Amino acid sequence: MSRRNLPALAAALSLPALLVPSGAVAAPKQKSAGAVARFEIVRVDVRGEQRSRLVDDATVYDYRGIARYDTSVDEQGELVIPPPARRRLPQALTIGGLEYNGLSDAKITMSSGVDDCSMETAGAIAPNRIGALVAFKGGRMLVNWMLVPPLKRCPPDALVWTIPSTPSKAMVQRYSLTRLLKVKRGRETRLAIKIQHRWSDHDGDHRVRWSGYVQLARVR
């Protein structure tokens, strides 16, 4: 090839890729990196315990509650992971169709006697769902679980006594968003729940723990 043809060859090789000869087969389209990922919630097993104790002069308030959330029917819920551009706002997650069994051992001890406030939380009065708030931060998914300790029931003339909710920050669990998105369609994974927290306030000293899992199956 003569030197005078080299500039023409170089120009031909630098032609844009869009100039494809007529009849050529286009490359297959790649899946969008911004697709929505969907997971069905297929199983739930979460167990917890809360203890509270308040000493007010000669009166002592004692509470211990144990509870379990378990799968009951097929109505569960769906976790949706939006594309990155739509992850700025938190989203609500509701897991329904659950069976809740709770039992509290609660009493008020006074110099004049003891008021028994213990009760079983099950059936129509029991929460049959778990609520959560889901947020995304970098490569993590943050889930603020809303888990409920068993109720108590004191005699009508008993002293007023409140069992406080666990501080919201203590109920937040962090999960790897990268790991979740790597789960293939049709495969399962789980969100482990492991919460332990102690705190004190004007209602006394408190300790809570929850452990278990929420099983997910990727459908999209």
Which of 203, 217, 214, 215 has the alpha carbon at shortest distance from 63? 203
Tell me the longest C-alpha to C-alpha distance in the chain. 114
Which of 163, 67, 48 has the alpha carbon at shortest distance from 107? 163
Burial 17-48 (b: 16+ CB within 10 A, else e): eeeeeeeeeeeeeeeeeeeebebbbeebbbbb
Contact 180, 174 (CB under 8 A): no
pLDDT computed for residue 44 by the predictor: 95
As a whole number of angstroms, the distance between CA 30 and CA 201 comes to: 55
pLDDT computed for residue 27 by the predictor: 43
Q: pLDDT by residue for the chain (220 residues), tens digit each?
A: 444 443 443 343 333 333 234 444 444 444 445 689 999 999 999 999 999 999 999 999 999 999 999 998 766 899 999 999 899 999 999 999 999 999 999 999 999 999 999 999 988 889 999 999 999 998 999 999 999 999 999 999 999 998 889 999 999 999 999 999 999 999 999 999 999 999 999 889 999 999 999 999 999 8
Identify the DSSP state of 92.
Answer: E
pTM for the model: 0.80
As a whole number of angstroms, the distance between CA 63 and CA 158 comes to: 15
Q: Which residues contact 80 (CB under 8 A, 6 or more apart)?
A: 36, 37, 38, 39, 91
Domain ranges for the chain: 33-218
Which of 106, 63, 109 has the alpha carbon at shortest distance from 205? 63
Give, for 64, the enclosing helix (H) or strand (E). Answer: strand 59-71
How much of the chain is in helix, strand and coil states, percent to nearest 5? Answer: 10, 50, 40
Q: Is 9 helix (H, G, I), strand (E, B) or coil?
A: helix
As a whole number of angstroms, the distance between CA 205 and CA 201 comes to: 7
pLDDT computed for residue 33 by the predictor: 52
Instruction: Name the residue with tokens 């099983």.
Output: 215
pLDDT computed for residue 157 by the predictor: 93
Instruction: Name the residue with tokens 């297959």.
Output: 28
Residue type, 213: Y
Contact 34, 87 (CB under 8 A): no
